Every structure is written in C-alpha cells, then in structure tokens.
Structure 1
Amino acid sequence: MHLYPFLTGALACLITSSYAAATVTASEQYDVVEQLQRVPDGWVQGSRPQPSMLMQFRLAIRQPRAHEFEQLVMKIATPGNELYGQHMKRDDVKAFLQPTAESSEAVLSWLQSEDVSENLIDVDGDWVKFIVPVKQAEKMLNTTFYIFHDEENSGYRVRTLEYSVPHHVHKHVQLIQPTTHFGRMKPQRSWVFDYEEIEAPNRDVVDCSSYVTPDCLRQLYRLDDFTATPDPRNKLGISGYLEQYARYDDLEGFLQQYAPNMTDGNFTVQSINGGMNEQSSDDDSTEASLDIQYGIALAYNVPTIFFTTGGRGPLVPDLSQPDANDSSNEPYLEQLQYLLNLPDEDLPSVLSTSYGENEQTLPESYTNTTCSLFAQLGARGVSIIFSSGDEGVGSTCLTNDGTNQTRFNPIYPASCPFVTAVGGTYDINPEKAISFSSGGFSERFSRPSYQDQAVSSYLSHLGDTWKGLYNPEGRGFPDVAAQSHSFIVQDHGKFIQVDGTSASAPTFAAIIADLNSVRLSNNKSTLGFLNPWIYSLNGSGFTDIVDGAMSDLKTFISQLHKDLELRKLDHAVEVLSQAKRALLQQNALFPSTSLSPQVHAQAREILELGAITSLRLMQPPDFTRYYQQLQPFYDLEREVERSETTASYKEVLKTSQRSKITGLYLLLLLSSGDTSQFHTVLEGLIVEASLKGYSVEDDPFIKYPVELERSLMEGSYDKVWRATKSSEVPTEDFGLFSDVLVGTIRREIADCSEQAYQYLPISNAKNLLFLDSEGAVVEFAQERGWTLKDGNIYFPAQVDAEAGQPAEKGIGFTSATIIQNTIGYARELETIV
C-alpha cells in the first residue's frame, strides 16, 4: 500500500497554491492559461527537477478562423454538397489557419523578452516550438514544475498543475505543452480475456465462431477475394506508440498461415520524434502485430506505412543530463504535426490508431487543439480511424473534479467529432455488441450536425435511463463497430488470441482503404473524413447491431474466479473495474426488488469476488468498502427469505458467501483492535441466529474469529497463536490474518516487556514473542531499537509506544490505531454501565 495518494488528497489545496511560485513584479500581470484542480488520479507528486534540465515546449497560437474552417471541413465531407470530395492542399490549410500578424508578433516578442535563444525557437504557422531550462520555464510561465510518478505504469513526467502568461500575450495563446497534460495513453485491448498462447488452427478448419482470421472477416464483411488496385494516392497508415514494434518475421509467419496468397505483403516504416521499430526487442508487440497483420491481410496491395512515434516523459536517471526531446510526451502532437507537414502526395489516405485515454484526464485546451488537427487531416483527405476504447462507459465512472460524482467517462480521441470511432462486436449470426466496448457522449465536444437524427432517435428510445450520468448534448460515439474478439495474431513467433477494439480499428480502416481503391479506379476522390458520409447512409450498407451490451456478467465472474485461482490479482482488478461498470449500466450496483434473481446473484458475486481480491492484495480499506457495498444485497436477501416468495431466490441464497465475507470482516476488525465494531456486528449476527433457532458459532466462518476474540480478551495469547497455526483456520483467506494477529500480540507483549523488565534472555524472548528462532528474536530486537548484549535483550528505560516500530507489510495496524479503538470500546462500556 502507498501512503502518497492519501497525502495528495489531503494536501491538494496546499499543492495547488504552490505552483504559481515564481516571483512576479507588481507591474506584471499574469493570466492563467490552464489549471488543474488537483493532481490527476494515479499520479504522485515528487521532487523538483534539476533547474538546468532542458524542456521542449510547443505553443499553439490562437486561430481567428478556426470555427469557419470546421464548417468548411463539414462541407467537403458531406455528400451532396458542391464541395464534397474537394480535399484541400497542405499550403491551402496553412494559409486558411494562419494566425494574425498581431498574434504572431506578440508571442515572438514575448519569447525574445524572456531571453529565449533565437536558434532554439522554431516557428511553423500557428505553432511555435522552443527549448528552455526548467528554471527559465518556471519564470516565463509563472509556475513550478515537479516530477510526478505514474503509479500504474511506473513512469515519470515533469509537469505542473497551473501555468500563466503575461496579460498582453494571454489572448493569443491556445496552449503550451508539456505542462498540464499528464496523459495515460494505452492500447485499447480488453483486460476481460486473457492473452494466452494458442495452438494455431489450420486455415482450412478455422471455426469463425471461436476464432477470427482474415478469411473470417472477408466472409463476414463481404470482401471475399477482393484485391485492391495499387495506387500511390491510396495508402494505409498504422500508428505505433509506446515502443510497440511491427515485426517483419511475425507478419511473414502470419500471412503464411492465414493468407498464403498474400505472402509478399509488406510495409514501410516512418519514424516520428525518434520512434523506432526494433526487430530484436523482447518487449510485447501485440498491438503493432495486430494492426499490421490484419491491415495488410484485409487491404492487400494497398501500400501500408507504420508510423512509429517516440515520446514518453523523462526518466529520473536522465534528469541530470537531459535531452530536451525526451521532455515531451505529446505523441499525438508529434504525429499530427509531422503528418500535416508532409507533402500532399505522401499523406496516408487512411490512418488507423488503436490508442486512447480518459477524456476528463486531459486539459481541455489539449483536446480542443488536437481535435482541430484531426480536422485538418480530414480536410486534406485523410480518414482518421480510432478504436472507441475497452472500458465500457468509463474507467472509474467517477468525475475527477474533486466531487467524485458518478458519471460515465468518454474516451479521447474517439470522442473528437472529426475522427471515426470504431466499437467492438463478437459472434457471427447475429453479430453482437461486446461487453467491454466503450461508447457514450463527450463532455467536451457538442453533438455535430451530421449525427443529430441518429442520436435524437437513440435518446428518444433511451428515455430517462441513466439520466444525469452522461451529457445528452455531447458528441456520441462510436460511429461504427467491427469484430473485436478472439483475433489470432502472431507475436515473437507465437500465436496468441487477442481481444479489444484495437482489433476493430484496423479492420474497419482496411475496408475503407479497399473502398478508396474502388473510388480511385472510378475517377473519384478518396473518402477522407468519413462521418457525414456514414450518417447520410442511414444504415444502408451497415448491419444494425441490436443484440448484446456491456452486460455479460457471467464472463466477468468466470474470469475473476480464474484470476483468483491463478493468483493474477492485478488482472482481477482490471476485470473488476469493467464488471462494476457493467453493473452500473444495468442499475445493478445497488440491489432492488426490480432486479431479477439471476442479476442480483451475479452482482453480489462480483462484489464478493472484489472483496476477496482486495483482501489478497492486502488492501483493508478496499475490502471494507466491498463489505459495505454488499450489506444492502444481504439485507434484501434476508427480507426475501422471511417472505413467502422465496422460490425464485433459493438458488440466489445458495451461492451467497455472506458468512465467509462477514467472518473475514470480523477478523479484520479484530486485527485492527476495533473491538467496538466487532461486537456491534456480532450482536446482530447473534440476534439473527437466535430467531432461526441456532447458535452463531454453528457457522465455522463466524466461530473462528469469535474464539480468537475470546482468547484475546482472556489474555490467552498462546491459544491465539496455536489457533492461527491449526486446521481450525476455515480457508486460506482467513490465514492471511494469522501473521497480523500474531504481530499484534507480539507488539503488545513487547510493549509490556519494556515496562516490566530491564532485560530478558534471548532464549526466553523467543518463546514469549512466538518467534521461530533466536535469529528472528535478534532481528525483531534490532527493529525495536533494543540493545543486545551477552545473550540478553536490554530495554530502554522510557520508550514511546510508537518509537522504533517498523511498518508492517500487508495488512497492518499501528499501536496508536489499536489503542484508540480499545479506548473507544472502553468508553462505550462505561456509558452502558
């Protein structure tokens, strides 16, 4: 367990106020450009970076004709409009969006006044790139930078929560990054299913209801034996990030196995921002392998380009000798600006990207700016395809604005109205929506006119369901969907099974590349920005997916049992996150009589498995939250059990793990010294048992903690020690508390010994402290700060109750906590007396 996240929340106000740390003279006025209310979830603030560390910044100058440009893009992409298909040239786009001379001059004059070296400034239309040391950047932006640690991915970023610019410059600046963009971009591969190596089935005997291969997709989407006509105007681009490398030997092996008539299919590589395509790396390349293999197999003869983009935050060991290029982790900005600067003939006509992140975690100026860049690519005839995400309606379904309100969390860039978002399906006849596929409504972008009719119809059918959990006026996504389950992929010479909208995106992108081939052969333009065309078809040419939803609770339960059995606890946490979102969608996160008995049982089982998972991860607060969430389910079951309508709930009651969860909770309370709450829970159980005519100790899950508590109250510590080592322990999960209880006893005995004795022979201490060897006694004594001499332990005359006590690993509680709980219980007893 980490202490930092709790400190971060408690000190949020202090931290935020420290960012505007640079001294500003009275004559200067700085206006805030971007501000975050708190450190984003999952990040921990660390130390300050070296003042001399170089950072590369990108500054976007405001565009006076931005809205007019977006309207023009819509006209170019809308069938029936006189401008349809008349894609713009690179220089035309730059000229249209050129900032005013006033804005450009104001920004450059400001940089010069801040002594930014002229040879470290690069101007490209409405973008200015400059490099300065951290110390200088803090002065320029009136802020303070810190090193932040990403607990999920163990990465580091140099970032701030707020930055400003002088008042006279503020109106000209759209954004400056990297500053407030933390980002956690990741491939959209589902965690619900495992990625295990499989025995690759022969192409001729593949069952398309069990596995997906290029042949299955060609048959399902009626590509059959279609082969594109090579044309330099039609190229398929595949985005590569996060050190994902497309391997030539894996592509060759995959094509030999599943597309033997296409074995000459290949791809070229374009490096952006130092991106590489290592062929000898042992790192996982599943994402790149998936995208390249299916892109080429489905769009055979279309030139395919792997755009590998470098860029992560600076690693701590590199901060003393920094490379400014490493200080930027804006892969979308790097890739987009690279593509927009390409000559028209070098642009891909289709770009498939299988990455995304939670929209609310990104600065609004960042999403607005990058979405505008996607629009610029669309204007030049590029179809931008993004996977919709694999997090259902949201990763946490909580807002990150400090209020922690329940709210669906859309995925960006899928939520940008100028990209085509592809959701996930599975099965063949009929094709169904898969449980993990993300979708919803943007909180940042309003609904575009091209989807007014479709979204209005959907919302009318939806009614008040989930009202208040999403933005009905926002851009709805995904726009289309494709297969996303059980794709066979070769990576590092092995065949594996892959799931996720990461598979859907290249599948759909390849089909668009094939359509472009047909259009070009008929003297038409490439499709470019797709969405107005897609929605204008009113479903013609598409299959309406009406079955399935984010509701396959049995799949979640099965996977959770498997993860717990294999002790894959981190994977179980990911599955639990998706399972709880599915429960929220079905209004099943809280029990009610309107739920069917089956859904009630599944919801309760998911929460019970969550409790077990958190316990095995040694996270008592999480276990307690699950226990509390389960109480309404257990209460409703008791009510139904007492009523006459019990027939349909018999199976529900059979599968309940209430006794086990309650017994574990009692043991947790006992381990923390919370005797008051222990007896409160126990008294309720005793009353319930007496009404049914049996003793609470007839239940082995309850009997075990009750007997331990009785021995503790008697001071019979040897009984407790023997009980934790005996066959009386009901299950292995109860055994997790053995070391904790013995540790609690050991500390109490140690505290008493310090007060009662001046010294104690080591041999006596071994038995007294329930330790296995004299070596263990020596180690414990050293941790306590005791003196060892001549075979004896000498205790300090006065030792603070907390001094010298090391933190327990796993489920641990300090003496202060135990003492506080014990005193509270004594006060309650005194009140009763």
Structure 2
Amino acid sequence: MRRAPPTTVLPLRIGLIQPNIRDLEKHLLDISHPDSANYGQHWSAAKIAHVFRPSKDSADTVRHWLSSEGIDAARIALSKTGSWLEVNVSVAEAEALLKTEYSLYEHEGTGTQHLACGPAYHLPEHVSEHVELVVPTLHFDGILQELSQCDQFITPDCLRVLYDFAYSPVAAKKNSFGIVEYTPQSYLAPDLDLFFHNFSKSQVGQRPELISIDGGVVQTEEQSFDFNGESSLDLQYGMSLIGPKQQVTLYQVGDLVEGASFNNLLDALDGSFCTFEGGDDPLEDGKEDCGIVKPANVISTSYGFNEADLTPAYTARQCAEYGKLGLMGVTVLYSSGDEGVAGHSELCLNPDGTQSTSGKIFNPTFPGGCPFVTSVGATQVNPGAKVTDPESACMQVIFSGGGFSNHFAIPDYQKSAVNGYLTKFPPPYSHDIFNASGLSRAFPDISANGANYVIAVDGDFSLVFGTSASTPVTGAILTAINDARLALGKRAIGFINPTIYSDRFRNAFNDITSGTNPGCGTQGFSATSGWDPVTGLGTPNFAKLLVEWLLLP
C-alpha cells in the first residue's frame, strides 16, 4: 500500500438517495408472488427510472456543495436517470472534498492495483442526507460416458435424467437466455465443436450470440484452462441443454486492457444504473454502453465476491439494481461459491472484520446473498451411486457455498423456511461464528449438480467442479419453463424466489438431506429436510416445476 499520487484523476460518482427504494421489495413481490393479482406484470425500464429517480432537491444540494468547494459547475454532470452526479477530480481534490486519504493497494498474488480511501470518508451533514454512496471510496474494484458412470462423469444426458429434463423449445424466437463472461475469460470455437460432436451433434458449428459490453472481446491469444475453462463450462452446458433451437446470448464484458466489473454489465442491461464507477472512466468508453442491451429473460453468472470485500452501501446499491431487473421480468442467477461457509479463496473473517485463511468466522459471498437474485449451490451424485439415486451436497473438490448474510435482512418470502431450519436444526456454533440472528438473508436458494463435469477445453477433455457448473444448468432449465409459458401467451417467470418458496412449489424440488459445506475450520452447515444453507430448497424437478408454473397466470 502507498499513498495515491495527488494528481491522479478519479471518476468520482456520487450516488443520490433514491426516495422510493424502500418500496422496491414491495413492488417486486407484487409482481413476483404467485398469489398476487399483479403476478407477471413486469415494469418497463422507463417506469423503473421514473419511480426511483432521486429528487431535484438532492441533486441541487450536492451540486451547490461541490461548487462551494471550488468545483466548477461545468465539470459536474447528472446521469441520464438522475441517480448519480459525476465529476472527474484529482486525488487531491477528492481528499479535500471527502476529508480522507486515498491509497493504492496491490494484491500480493496477482499484482493487481486498486484505489481506495480509508478508514472512512466524510460529507457535511446537510449533504450526507441526500447521498447514499460515493465511489471510488472504500470498496476494492478475480469423452462420451454412459449413464451408469454419472457418479464419475457428468454429461448433459446425466443432467436430463437427474432433473427429469426432457424439453424441446417451441417459442425460441420469443425467448432469451444470457450467460455472462468477463474478459480475458473466453471460449474457443474448436472446443465448442469438440464438445458438441460428443454430446449434441446437431449443434456442431453453433455459436452463442455475442454482445460486447465495455469493449468485451472473445480473446484467443491466451489459451489455457485458466483462460478458457469457465467460459467452456458455462456455454457448453448452457447451450447443449436448451439447444439447438434456443439461441444463447453471450454477454462478454470488459476489454483486454482494463477488464470490467458487475457494474459495467449493469450499465448495459439497465440504463438507470449508468455511470456507476466500475473500473473504467464512464465518460470515455463505459458511457457508450449505457442501456444498450435488452436483458435476457434469464441471466446466469458464475462469478462473485465476498461480502467483506465491499462496503454495505456498495452491496446495497448493486443489489437494488438486481431488484430492478426483477421488476423488468428478468431471472438473475448467481453461483453461491465453492468454499462452503468460507468466502472465495477460502478466506474467513477475523473478529476485527478482516479476512484471512486462518479466520474462524463464516464469510458470506456476494451477489449470492442479495435477496433479489437467485443463489445456486451445488450437489453431487455420490460415488458408486446410480444417477437415479438421491444426490447429496457437493463434497468433492468443492463445497457448496452457503450461509447467512452480514449485509442484507431476511426477505419475507424466505422467513418461514429459514426460521424452520434454525428451529428444527440449530447449527452447533456460537453467534460469534455466523449471523445466527434469524434476521439475515440466507442462501443458497436452490442447487444443481456441480461435480465431475466433462468439458472440452484447449482441445482435450477435462473434469471440472463448482457452482459455476450448477448455475448455467439451472439457467437452461428455467429458460425451458419460460419457453413453455411464452408459447401459451404468458409472460416469463421473472424474479422466482417468492414463487419457489411458496407452499405450492414445495414438492417441485428434490430435497437434499445429506452432506455439509465445510470451511473456516468447521464442518459448516448440514443439509437437512426442507431448506438449508447448503443446498437451499433442493434441486429442480423440471416436470413438476413446469406444471406448477404453467398453472400460474
């Protein structure tokens, strides 16, 4: 760590208070709960921007403050939706405005540098009541097998049997399924064809529809598992399970120079989030990707952070954007993590809030802990078991991420299930090990198989493990349900959490009752009957889910 040079220019972004954001959950439940008269009545992007637009008074107050501090009014811009005030400032100006100090932090392992201030920043009282967040500040902006061998080699056919998933799309032109990748991670066309040749011959030569966001490029210069493994897994299974009729969209985010973040994706999907600082200067290239993409009906992302990497204000702001996508009728899926109750990179929390591999406090992940996304955990076919036998929580190579958020309150749709778990199966840990209050968002919501996936990568076959596998598989299954509804003139299923936690869907999942998710020097939580913080509600039974969703308006 070292002090940031005072002349370095920062794209300072001031997130204004959104006066109606407290009603977001109410609005989302109103269109997402199966018993609501407004079920499926999704909002337009224009309506979302209007309802959540900050007041003119907030914008004027912050403008006047900036001007009084010597910032020329011509340098200050209001975002299109009125949610952010933007001004490019030097480090010296930012430090004077925020009464703080900026430093450059370098990751010991990768050498990646991040700019942040600390330990706090300060706003005048009359200004702070109008401001939700200022960035950048405290957050840091990483072979054909038979069904008898599904315990050793998972293939698309294994998954079809596991989840009773037999479906051929009939309304593909009305439907959409998006998979998100971040440069330099990319797929190789020969790998797709190698996989399709073995597991879905009709798709040889088929490619995802590329939508480039913030300079996103499918690079081919770097070819190794580290650069191609994730994209290969996501696309090979997402495409083969729903193809060849359904075109899959690839949201490739970030260029080869600066990369990108979740914020750049949100810029492109939802214009109301534009100009959020995401590593690039939005006034240069990110600005051109403001609201350029109509979101797919289902969006699957296999990447994530630890909550502790980010401030509560930052995660709350981003989580609200996922809620807005839900209002638009989008199903947002995120993997829950592969380290059990630990965070990514096996990091756990210390009593002082820092993270280390020697920590003992459970470390929840993000965005999987956001109440407006559907968090997907992982299961496995047990060694020696048949594909038709009950699965268990994944305990080979990876452990299903799960636990209780330290940032988000428990949503209404989940209260009964989570309280039932804590009452019937209280975890054997003290309250200083995890958030045992019963008042916090719990995850994952659902799961799918995440062990022993056969993928083609760099011209050969490999086995991979993770919630990175279970998430696009779940996305493909939900895309098929959307297809069936759209074919009948109904709407896409949108934000699914209130629906899947409802009583009518109780028997539409395969309950997982064995296995744990170790981490932080413990055995983690245990899978039990009903919802649990290892596999959620269980794995999807497509045939049962289809019936229930087709009965809804």
TM-score (norm 2): 0.82
Shift of 1:493: 1.8
* Distance in 2 (alpha carbons) for counterparts of 1:533 and 1:584: 28
Q: 2:331 aligns with which of 375, 383, 389?
A: 383
Does 2:221 correspond to 1:308?
Answer: no
Q: Residue 176 in 1 paired to residue 143 in 2?
A: no
1:450 partner amino acid? Y
1:16-64 alpha-carbon deviations (Å, 9 max, x no partner)? xxxxxxxxxxxxxxxxxxxxxxxxxxxxx2x233333222233211111
Separation in 2 of the partners of 1:289 and 1:247? 7
- CA deviations over 1:597-654 (Å, ceiling 9, x no partner): xxxxxxxxxxxxxxxxxxxxxxxxxxxxxxxxxxxxxxxxxxxxxxxxxxxxxxxxxx
Q: Report the CA distance between 1:549 and its aligned residue.
A: 1.8
**Aligned 8 A contact 2:105 2:113 in 1:** yes
Partner of 1:456: 419
Tell me by how many angstroms 1:203 deviates. 5.0
**CA distance 1:271–1:166, shift in 2 (3 Å):** farther
- Counterpart of 2:219 in structure 1 is 278
| Of 163-172 and 435-444, the range deviating more from structure 2 | 163-172
Asked if the contact 1:483–1:503 (Cα under 8 Å) also holds between the matched residues in 2, the reply is yes
Task: Work out whether 1:443 is the aligned partner of 2:406.
Answer: yes
Larger radius of gyration: 1
Q: Shift of the alpha carbon at 1:167?
A: 3.0
2:33 counterpart of 1:78 = yes
> Match of 1:64, as an amino acid?
P
Mapping for residues 352-431 of structure 1, pairs under 5 Å: 352-394=300-342, 395-399=346-350, 401=352, 406-427=360-381, 428=387, 429-431=389-391
SS of the aligned residue for 1:523 comes to coil
Say whether 1:474 aligns with 2:449: no
CA distance in 1, matches of 2:220, 2:66: 42
Matched, 1:60 2:15: yes
Q: Secondary structure at the match of 1:346?
A: coil
Q: 1:426 to 1:213 in 2, by over 3 A?
A: same
The 1:279/1:344 distance shift into structure 2, 3 A limit, reads: closer
CA-CA distance at 1:222 after TM superposition: 1.5
Give the Å deviation of 1:385: 0.2
* 1:295 to 2:238 alignment: yes
Distance in structure 2 (CA, Å) of the matches to 1:400 and 1:348: 41
Answer yes or no: is the 8 Å Cα contact 1:244–1:288 preserved in 2: yes
Q: Distance in 2 between matches of 1:48 and 1:278?
A: 34
Q: Which residue of 2 aligns with 1:339?
A: 269
Which of 202, 205, 215 is equivalent to 2:157? 215
Q: Which amino acid aligns with 1:152?
A: G
Q: How far apart, CA to CA, are the structure 1 residues paired with 2:299 and 2:20?
A: 26
- Against the structure 1 CA distance between its residues 104 and 466, is the aligned structure 2 distance closer, same or farther, given a 3 Å change threshold? same
Q: Which of the residues 88, 91, 113 maps onto 1:134?
A: 91
SS of 2:88 mapped into structure 1? strand
Q: Within 2, Cα distance between the matches of 1:232 and 1:455?
A: 39
Distance in 1 (alpha carbons) for counterparts of 2:523 and 2:485? 45
Alignment check: 8 A CA contact 1:90 1:344 kept = no
Q: Given the alignment, which residue of 425, 432, 435 partners 2:392?
A: 432
Count of aligned pairs between the two proteins: 483
Secondary structure of 2:352's match? Answer: coil
Which residue of 121, 129, 132 corresponds with 2:77? 121
Partner of 1:492: 458
Residues 285 and 118 of structure 1, relative CA distance in 2, 3 Å threshold: farther
- Kindly indicate whether the alpha-carbon contact (under 8 Å) linking 2:153 and 2:452 is maintained by their aligned counterparts in 1: yes
8 A Cα contact 2:517 2:524, kept in partner: no
- Superposed CA deviations along residues 355-406 of structure 1, whole A, max 9, x for unmatched, are 1122123101001101101000000011000111111112344336359984
Which amino acid in the other structure matches residue 173 of structure 1?
V
Contact conserved, 2:516 with 2:524, CA < 8 A, in 1?
A: no
1:118 Cα deviation from its structure 2 partner: 3.2
Higher helix share: 1
Against the structure 1 CA distance between its residues 302 and 164, is the aligned structure 2 distance closer, same or farther, given a 3 Å change threshold? farther
- Opposite residue 398 of structure 1, the aligned amino acid is L
Whether 1:545 and 2:512 are equivalent positions in the alignment is yes
Matches within 5 A, 1:99-110: 99-110=54-65
- Gap change, CA 1:138 and 1:410, over 3 Å in 2: same
Q: 30, 33, 42: which is aligned to 1:87? A: 42
CA distance in 2, matches of 1:299, 1:376: 26
Higher strand share: 2
**CA–CA distance in structure 2, aligned partners of residues 340 and 64 of structure 1:** 19
Tell me the residue number matched to 2:541: none
For the 8 Å contact 1:240–1:307, the answer to whether it is kept is yes
Matched ranges for 1:685-696 at <5 A: none
Name which of 202, 206, 229 aligns with 2:170: 229
Task: Give the 3 Å change call, closer, same or farther, for CA 330–363 of structure 1 in structure 2.
Answer: farther
CA RMSD after TM alignment? 2.5
| Deviation of 1:258 (Å) | 1.3
Larger relative contact order (CA 8 Å, sep ≥ 6): 2
TM-score (norm 1): 0.55
Asked if the contact 2:378–2:394 (Cα under 8 Å) also holds between the matched residues in 1, the reply is yes
- The alignment-based identity, stated in percent, is 33
Q: What SS class does the counterpart of residue 99 from structure 2 fall into?
A: coil
Residue deviations 1:157-181 (CA, integer Å, cap 9, x gap)? 1211122233332111111222211
> Matched residues in 1 for 2:416 and 2:375: separation?
18
Q: Match for residue 621 of structure 1? A: none
SS in 1 for 2:3: coil
Q: Quick one: which amino acid aligns to residue 206 of structure 2?
A: G
- Residues 340 and 524 in structure 2, CA contact (< 8 A), matched pair in contact too: no
Does the CA-based 8 Å contact 1:311-1:331 persist in structure 2?
A: no
Flag structure 2 segments of 5+ consecutive residues without an equivalent. 272-289, 382-386, 527-553
**Most deviating of 391-400 and 345-354:** 391-400
Q: Structure 1 unaligned segments of length 5 or more: list them.
A: 1-44, 187-200, 315-325, 552-577, 587-833
SS in 2 for 1:288: helix
DSSP 3-state at the match of 1:124: coil
Q: 1:108 to 1:143 in 2, by over 3 A?
A: same
CA deviation after TM superposition for structure 1 residue 466, in Å:
1.9
- CA separation in 2, counterparts of 1:271 and 1:122? 26
Change (3 A) 1:345 1:84: farther
Q: Distance in 2 between matches of 1:449 and 1:387?
A: 22
Q: What secondary structure sits across from 2:420 in the alignment?
A: helix
Deviation by residue 1:59-100 (Cα, 9 ceiling, x = unmatched): 211111111122111111100101110000010000000111
- With over 3 angstroms needed to count, the CA separation of the structure-2 counterparts of 1:232 and 1:181, relative to structure 1, is farther
Q: Report the Cα distance in structure 2 between the residues aligned to 1:112 and 1:377, rounded to whole angstroms.
A: 35
In structure 2, relative to structure 1, the CA distance for the partners of 1:400 and 1:412 (3 Å cut) is: farther
Q: Using a 3 Å threshold, how does the CA distance of structure 1 residues 534 and 105 change in structure 2: closer, same or farther? A: same
Q: What is the DSSP-based 3-state SS (H/G/I as helix, E as strand, rest coil) of the residue aligned with 1:540?
A: helix
Cα distance change of structure 1 residues 259 and 116 upon mapping to structure 2, 3 Å threshold: farther
Residue in structure 2 matched with residue 819 of structure 1 by the alignment: none
Give the Cα–Cα distance (whole angstroms) in 1 for the partners of residues 338 and 185 of structure 2.
19
